[in-house]
Amino acid sequence: MKTIFFSILCITFLFADGQNNSELESNYFWKREVVMEAVNLNGTKTGEVVISLVGQKFRVISEKEEGDKVLIRILNYKKVDDPGSNFYKYNYGTKDLAKASLMDSAKALSAQDFKTGTFGDYQKYFLVDKSNILKHATPYSVIDHSLALGFLNLPFKARIQKGKEDFSGTFNFGSAVGYKFKHYSYSPWAHNVVLGLSFSNVSLDSVSVSKNHEDLSETNEFTALSLSVGYMLEYKNVQVGIFLGWDHIDRKVQSNYDWDYQGKPWISLALGYSIFSKEEQKKDVSNIQ
């Protein structure tokens, strides 16, 4: 019995040690508030202690062997005109300069300073427990912009020609190619600009044509090539959006009937499901919150 108990105890310690020795990612954001000790780049404490903010992004600089500490840098806030702003609390400052002097110095920073680098001797760093990062922070990366291919269904078309407005349900099912904008790995939301190509059925009747009405029965179905462009909001792989499109029936049919909506714009809501999307995750190199 003692042997079993000792074995379980050893496994427990090994598991805990394995958790503590997990490799850290480069970029995180805080899920909870934690205590952070202000230090300079070599790890010397300045005596300042601050509390992190939920959602605050930070970058891991290095891991310290002593005390299982990690040196981090909070990504830059941009508001430099307020001495009580997060910029001075988390990014910029030294013990030896008055706040007014800090503000004068910070106002000389350019937009490029915020994007590409640290602030030299004015840059603040913090020591935090590694266990706090593992428990209370979420790693993230940037998912680069990409092209996505998928199916596209436009359940209706609202034709917006003045004096000839028309709303009709329609069956069409086509393919689409979309440009997906860059977004963060922790978010299920993404934004797309989409080009669509599909075949759909359109109805020609005496109201919608300008000539040869007598050759038409009550309704006549013709195949149209539909081109569309739109914006789609994506949650995981399910997409919904709004589209602007144009229908083109066969030239011979158009020449015979002069369909009023040939090449004229319509709008529609769209439902889609991404079937292929090549996405590349990469390290976030931005220095701004």
Residue 196 domain flag: yes
Domain count along the chain: 2
Asked if residue 250 and residue 173 are part of one domain, the reply reads yes
- Domain C-terminal end among 80, 114, 139: 139
Asked if residue 158 and residue 134 are part of one domain, the reply reads no
Residue 288 domain flag: no
Query: Distance (Å, rounded) from C-alpha 8 to C-alpha 96?
Result: 53
Asked if residue 183 and residue 110 are part of one domain, the reply reads no
Structure token digits, residue 227: 């081109």
Do 151 and 196 contact (CB within 8 A), yes or no?
no
Residue 223 domain flag: yes
Query: Distance (Å, rounded) from C-alpha 174 to C-alpha 182?
Result: 25
Residue 56 domain flag: yes
Asked if residue 111 and residue 229 are part of one domain, the reply reads no
Asked if residue 98 and residue 178 are part of one domain, the reply reads no
* Per-residue pLDDT, 220: 82
Asked if residue 150 and residue 275 are part of one domain, the reply reads yes
CB atoms within 10 A of CB 266: 23
* 132 Cβ neighbours under 8 A, 6+ residues apart: 34
- Domain C-terminal end among 111, 139, 167: 139
Query: Distance (Å, rounded) from C-alpha 145 to C-alpha 3?
Result: 56
Asked if residue 132 and residue 14 are part of one domain, the reply reads yes
What order of strands is seen across the sheet that includes strand 142-143? 183-184, 142-143, 281-282
Continuous segment of H or E residues that includes residue 184? strand 183-184
**pLDDT tens digits for range 268-279:** 998 777 655 556
Query: Distance (Å, rounded) from C-alpha 155 to C-alpha 232?
Result: 15
Asked if residue 147 and residue 135 are part of one domain, the reply reads no
Domain ranges, residue 70: 2-139
Asked if residue 159 and residue 123 are part of one domain, the reply reads no
Asked if residue 166 and residue 118 are part of one domain, the reply reads no
Continuous segment of H or E residues that includes residue 169? strand 166-169
* Per-residue pLDDT, 9: 36
- Domain C-terminal end among 74, 105, 139: 139
Residue 73 domain flag: yes
Asked if residue 161 and residue 132 are part of one domain, the reply reads no
Residue 265 domain flag: yes
Do 216 and 203 contact (CB within 8 A), yes or no?
no
Residue 289 domain flag: no
Instruction: Look up residue 174 and give its amino acid.
Output: G
pTM of the model: 0.66
Query: Distance (Å, rounded) from C-alpha 138 to C-alpha 186?
Result: 8
Structure token digits, residue 47: 């005596």
pLDDT tens per residue, the chain (289 residues)? 444 433 433 333 333 334 444 688 899 999 999 999 999 888 888 889 999 999 999 999 999 877 789 999 999 998 998 888 999 999 998 766 777 888 888 988 988 888 877 898 899 999 999 999 999 999 999 888 888 888 888 889 999 888 888 888 877 778 889 899 988 888 889 999 999 999 888 988 888 899 998 888 776 889 999 999 999 999 987 888 999 999 999 999 999 999 999 999 999 998 777 655 556 667 677 788 8
Asked if residue 176 and residue 158 are part of one domain, the reply reads yes
Query: Distance (Å, rounded) from C-alpha 262 to C-alpha 99?
Result: 68
Residue 287 domain flag: no
